[in-house]
Amino acid sequence: MKIGLIGLGIMGKPMAKNLLKAGYQLAVNDRNEASVAEVVAAGAAAATQAEIGGTCDVVLTMLPNSPQVREVMLGEDGVAAHMRPGSVFIDMSSINPVASKEIAAVLEAKGIDMLDAPVSGGEPKAVDGTLSFMVGGKQEVFDKFKDLLGAMGASVVRCGEVGAGNTTKLANQIIVACNIQALAEALTLAQKAGVDPQLVFEAIRGGLAGSTVMNAKAPMMIAGDEKPGFKIDLHIKDLNNALDCAHAVGAPVPMTAGVQEVLQWLHSQGEGQHDHSCIAHYYEKLADIQIGR
């Protein structure tokens, strides 16, 4: 089975390397030539999008948002124009589920099956191959390619038909964003009250408040580490998709709207490329403190 992967960013590059470690034959494409060269050095082949479409049994994408996925697959001379009937498209990007369904419908008319398979876990889990995949698509297609996704993740769960994967990812992103905001508020309270945020973190991490989000983001807030495992601008994109989807189906999401405003403010302050744990900077600005420092 020959695999093509388009998109070698923060997430896509380590995911590509894990596919190579698992023994898959891989062709890659990205606008960043240095990223392509790095993955080629690990054993992949460089290819154009047309070559990936024409020669690969499975096409994977890991791209920023719906417009990029639509353009790569369905744009003028897009990948889908070169794919053979019976080949499969797996989109690992986090996009609007409405777009996933629209792309799937076009591909189905060409005899091409699609899975939407966004991930959770950020760069650290992309590197160590323990991402969580939320997948939408036909059961038989999921069954065939579950092991392929498992080469990059520790959890691969089918959530329903095409679009269900990205709907699940939007739910995930709401929970993550609101968790980070609550954590920033709590550590700000501790700092203002004269209690060491590091000790607060150590005391509560094993209780009901403990979470994967807390374990990953509290140390970053306390150290002032801005290096992105997941960028503020990307979380803004995901929450925009969540709000659009919620408005379309009539779901109330006031907490999502609130944390989105905080993220938008941080973007306006030039922090869009920082890690989403920098939600803490909003509180530090309001409270005139630095958490843990």
pLDDT in tens, 244-273: 999 989 999 999 999 999 999 999 999 999
**144 catalytic residue (yes or no):** no
Q: What is the mean pLDDT of residues 43-53?
A: 98
CA pair distance 92, 69, nearest whole angstrom: 10
Per-residue pLDDT of 195-204, as tens digits, reads 999 999 999 9
Please tell me the predicted confidence (pLDDT) of residue 122: 86
Q: What is the mean pLDDT of residues 95-116?
A: 96
Could you say which of 13, 17, 169, 231 is catalytic? Answer: 169
Share of the chain above pLDDT 90, in %: 96
Is the whole model's pTM more than 0.85, yes or no?
yes
Please tell me the predicted confidence (pLDDT) of residue 277: 98
Smallest CA-to-CA distance from 28 within 50, 47, 9, 53 is with 47
Is residue 229 pLDDT above 90, yes or no? no
Is residue 292 pLDDT above 90, yes or no? yes
74 and 80 in contact (C-beta within 8 Å)?
yes
